[in-house]
Amino acid sequence: MSGQIKDIGEEGVIALARSVKYHSAKRLLKGIGDDCAVIRGAGNSALLVTTDVMLDGVHFAYEWCPPESVGAKLLAVNLSDIAAMGGKPEDAFLCLMLPENLAANWVESFFYGFNKIAQRYGVNLAGGDVSRHPDRITLALTLTGRMRRDEVVYRSRAREGDFIYVSGTLGDAEAGMTLLQAQKSTTPFASYLINRYLYPDPRLELGRLLARTRTATAMIDLSDGLAIGVRQLAQASRLSAEIEVDNIPVSEELTAFISIKNNHNHHPSQSLKPKAQSLMPKAQNLFPQEFALRAGGDYELLFTVKPENVRRVERFHLNHPELPQLTHIGTMKENKTDNDEWTNVLGNGGWKHFR
Amino acid sequence: MSGQIKDIGEEGVIALARSVKYHSAKRLLKGIGDDCAVIRGAGNSALLVTTDVMLDGVHFAYEWCPPESVGAKLLAVNLSDIAAMGGKPEDAFLCLMLPENLAANWVESFFYGFNKIAQRYGVNLAGGDVSRHPDRITLALTLTGRMRRDEVVYRSRAREGDFIYVSGTLGDAEAGMTLLQAQKSTTPFASYLINRYLYPDPRLELGRLLARTRTATAMIDLSDGLAIGVRQLAQASRLSAEIEVDNIPVSEELTAFISIKNNHNHHPSQSLKPKAQSLMPKAQNLFPQEFALRAGGDYELLFTVKPENVRRVERFHLNHPELPQLTHIGTMKENKTDNDEWTNVLGNGGWKHFR
């Protein structure tokens, strides 16, 4: 194999990882290719396992992210993967690789933030590894979860005609990152957006409800944005998806951010690459929904629902007023093409770590 | 909290990690502080989880470690943690953080080595995360295992009077690292020692046998060397340990290495710090056993046995000729002191990642 990592990309590395043969497909119900691995447990139980890394300068920035937010977010992004299967989180295993000259109270604050989320969602920090890292703060977390095996929601089980829903509002996190990076936190709407970037809310209660009531046919969390999430879900289900961009839910804070951005044509110097902006035409009059379509980091849930169960979704808020808003944004369609095109609305651009 | 990571050390970071409160002590039978976390499963089963990191320039060297050895070793050192509880390995979760200009065939060879060990021990590569890393190859692996709950061998259950055993021969890996680093692989004994460094053999069969037959009262794997391993086991069991240095098992290849070393007083320039040498007086006539006492990286098992079961250990080879040699090297004693001194033979020096 020739070339470098930047040539084969994240997908190329994952393709190489798939060359490791499964030894026991019977035990491993789902390996690489969903939000969590799913492992057969005793009786009707399933063990979920997910793992995510965070590096200073790639996934967060030491200079402008408080350490407690890094601890909270590292756990939250893994919790979001458990939520996307419909599971209940259990135990976390943390790899901390730290420069020797890092202040000890950075680590203390990191654990303060981690502990707060761990307590809220009933997670044990059950083990890990500690090492020096000569260059930068490098973190990896593995999280287990548990659920009934017959309730697991895979991303591959959407059916033609299913309605596509998304939770909460989209685009907030990336707007918040832009503001935080540009040190524009004094604007009235900024603190809301920055908070959405620093402290994503894993949608565990929603995920559990959708799984327990067997309402979602497929589900995925939106770590890299709606455009990529929809494509991943559609490809896994061998379907295409039609998204009505105008229906994408956006917050009034994002609308205010976009409106100021359109007026100032604001382009901050960037050390972390915002996902949405780098993929978007530099339009003078960008709509918030266009921004929200490609923005990453919201960790909302995207899920599909059979038409006959749509009324159930609409009524969720009657019994669960604390749930985030749920918005119908499109429909699963038959995939008539041989290639991976899944919609005319969205292009093929995507956030890739190596490109 | 004042100071930097290098001031508080690995132990200080782990102490901060313990500030994260356990949410469910009932489910978590053992958290931080053993080779694996032990989680209550259905019936009499237990889930084991361990995680270990490997960084270029800290735990291996890109320049002189073949990529297939890095893949094999990353899995092997985690397998060794499962072996130290007496468990059977199941599923691995890999975090690959890679520089963009790394050759793709490095990764291909890494997976070749990983796959070989995975196939041998029946491990699935069930998930993971891929990211670019701006500086260096940074790897983290989490591995699960399974076993009967009443067979788990903790490091804390040694009793006064128990015999202390160690598997295989010690010191080979660190001698091999020194030779590899100094590019002295042409000496007759070198390839054996280098192989012991690059491809440690996880002692899974031995660990299973000791657990299944309830022969080991306590067990630990020797990742950081015998001196540190004995201290950790003794401290966890609130005992002291008496080691007869002359009984430490060494290979003839190590003996040859030490003999040449004594004659040449050989001190290669070092990019990776050899554990043993940095802690030892630069004696003109070092005995191989003194080297083996402090050398790390052998991944042999250290375990304790009740006096009445010693004959069983001596007879293991009759039915299991493929097992490594098992050597009686000392005895567990009452800890009469208030401090952590556990033997007069060994000092308090230890390998610390941050010091």
Note the pLDDT tens digit of each residue in B205-233.
Answer: 999 999 999 999 999 999 999 999 999 99
Are B134 and B85 in contact by the 8 Å Cβ rule? The answer is: no
The sign one gets for the Cα dihedral A254, A255, A259, A260 is: negative
Contacts of B138 in chain A (CB under 8 A): 97, 133, 138
Give the pLDDT confidence score for residue B276 in this predicted structure: 59
SS3 A85: coil
Mind telling me how many Å the CA of A117 is from chain B's nearest CA? 10
- pLDDT greater than 50 at residue B26: yes
Contacts of A354 in chain B (CB under 8 A): 100, 132
Q: How confident is the model over B337-348, as a mean pLDDT?
A: 46
- pLDDT greater than 80 at residue B316: yes
> What pLDDT band is residue B54 in, cutting at 50, 70 and 90?
very high
Contact map slice: B 42-61 vs A, CB within 8 A: 42-43, 45, 47, 49-53, 55, 57-59
Looking at chain A, list the stretches that DSSP marks H as alpha helix, in order from N- to C-terminal side. Answer: 5-17, 67-83, 104-121, 172-181, 190-198, 204-212, 226-236, 252-264, 275-279, 288-294, 310-319
Residue B226 Ramachandran class (φ > 0 left, ψ -120 to 50 alpha, else beta): alpha
Q: CB atoms < 10 A from the CB of B281, how many?
A: 7
Interface check for A103 against chain B (CB to CB < 8 A): the answer is yes
Whether the ipTM is more than 0.95: the answer is: no
Q: Do A127 and B37 touch (CB under 8 A)?
A: yes
Nearest-CB residue to B13 (from A6, A37, A130): A130
CATH of domain A18-151: 3.30.1330.10
For chain B, the three-class secondary structure string (H helix, E strand, C coil) is CCCEHHHHHHHHHHHHHCCCCCCCCCCEEECCCCCCEEEECCCCEEEEEEEEEEEECCCECCCCCCHHHHHHHHHHHHHHHHHCCCCEEEEEEEEEEECCCCEHHHHHHHHHHHHHHHHHHCCEEEEEEEEECCCCCEEEEEEEEEEEHHHCCCCCCCCCCCEEEEECCCCHHHHHHHHHHCCCCCCCCHHHHHHHHHCCCCCHHHHHHHHHCCCEEEEEECCCCHHHHHHHHHHHCCCEEEECHHHCCCCHHHHHHHHHHHHHCCCCCCCCCCHHHHHCCCCCCCCHHHHHHHCCCCCCEEEEECHHHHHHHHHHHHHCCCCCCEEEEEEEECCCCCCCCCCCCCCCCCCCCCC
Contacts of B126 in chain A (CB under 8 A): 28, 31-32, 37, 39, 49
Nearest CA in chain B to A127: B32
Give the pLDDT confidence score for residue A271 in this predicted structure: 56
Residue B216 tokens, joined: 């080991």
Q: How confident is the model over B18-41, as a mean pLDDT?
A: 87
Q: How confident is the model over B261-275, as a mean pLDDT?
A: 62
Nearest CA in chain B to A42: B42
Burial class of residue B152, CB neighbours in 10 A (0-12, 13-18, 19+): buried
Interface check for B9 against chain A (CB to CB < 8 A): the answer is no
| The model's pTM | 0.91
Mind telling me how many Å the CA of B145 is from chain A's nearest CA? 12
- pLDDT greater than 50 at residue B348: no
Q: Do B140 and A129 touch (CB under 8 A)?
A: yes
Q: Do A5 and B101 touch (CB under 8 A)?
A: yes
Chains A, B: CB contacts under 8 A, how many?
A: 276
Q: How confident is the model over B125-141, as a mean pLDDT?
A: 96
Residue B285 tokens, joined: 């006539």
Write down the CATH superfamily of domain B163-333: PurM-like C-terminal domain (3.90.650.10)
β-pairing verdict for A240-243 and A326-333: antiparallel
CA atoms in the 13 A half-sphere facing the CB of B301? 35
Q: How confident is the model over B254-276, as a mean pLDDT?
A: 71
Q: Name residue, tokens 């042999």.
A: B300
Rounded distance between C-alpha atoms, residue B71 and residue B75, angstroms: 7
- pLDDT greater than 60 at residue B347: no
Q: Do B7 and A104 touch (CB under 8 A)?
A: yes
Nearest CA in chain B to A26: B124
| DSSP 8-state assignment for residue A103 | B
Contact map slice: B 140-179 vs A, CB within 8 A: 140, 142, 144
Q: How far is CA B134 from CA A224, A269, A295, A296, in A?
A: 20, 19, 23, 21
Indicate the residue type of A124.
Answer: N
Give the pLDDT confidence score for residue B284 in this predicted structure: 58
Contacts of A122 in chain B (CB under 8 A): 23-24
Rounded distance between C-alpha atoms, residue A227 and residue A279, angstroms: 11
Tens-of-pLDDT digits for all 355 residues of chain A? 889 999 999 999 999 999 887 766 688 999 999 999 999 999 999 999 999 999 999 999 999 999 999 999 999 999 999 999 999 999 999 999 999 999 999 999 999 999 999 999 999 999 999 999 999 999 999 999 999 999 999 999 999 999 999 999 999 999 999 999 988 767 778 999 999 999 999 999 999 999 999 999 999 999 999 999 999 999 999 999 999 999 999 999 999 999 888 887 555 544 566 665 555 545 557 899 999 999 999 999 999 999 999 999 999 999 999 999 999 999 999 887 654 444 445 433 333 233 2
Residue A272 tokens, joined: 């972390």
Interface check for B72 against chain A (CB to CB < 8 A): the answer is no
Q: How confident is the model over B28-34, as a mean pLDDT?
A: 92
Residue A236 tokens, joined: 């896994």
Are B327 and B249 in contact by the 8 Å Cβ rule? The answer is: yes
Nearest CA in chain A to B94: A51
Q: Domain locations in chain B?
A: 22-151, 163-333
Contacts of A273 in chain B (CB under 8 A): none
Give the pLDDT confidence score for residue A49 in this predicted structure: 98
Contact map slice: A 117-136 vs B, CB within 8 A: 118-119, 122-136
SS3 A327: strand
The sign one gets for the Cα dihedral A154, A156, A157, A160 is: positive
Pick the residue with more confidence: A100 or B268? A100
Task: Name which CATH class applies to B22-151.
Answer: alpha beta
Are B275 and B224 in contact by the 8 Å Cβ rule? The answer is: yes
Nearest-CB residue to B130 (from A57, A130, A353): A353
Q: Do A128 and B59 touch (CB under 8 A)?
A: no
Contacts of A123 in chain B (CB under 8 A): 23
Give percent above pLDDT 90 in chain B.
Answer: 79
Q: How far is CA B138 from the centre of its chain?
A: 19
SS3 A7: helix
SS3 A242: strand
- pLDDT greater than 90 at residue B188: no
At residue B146, what are phi and psi to the nearest 5 degrees? -140, 150
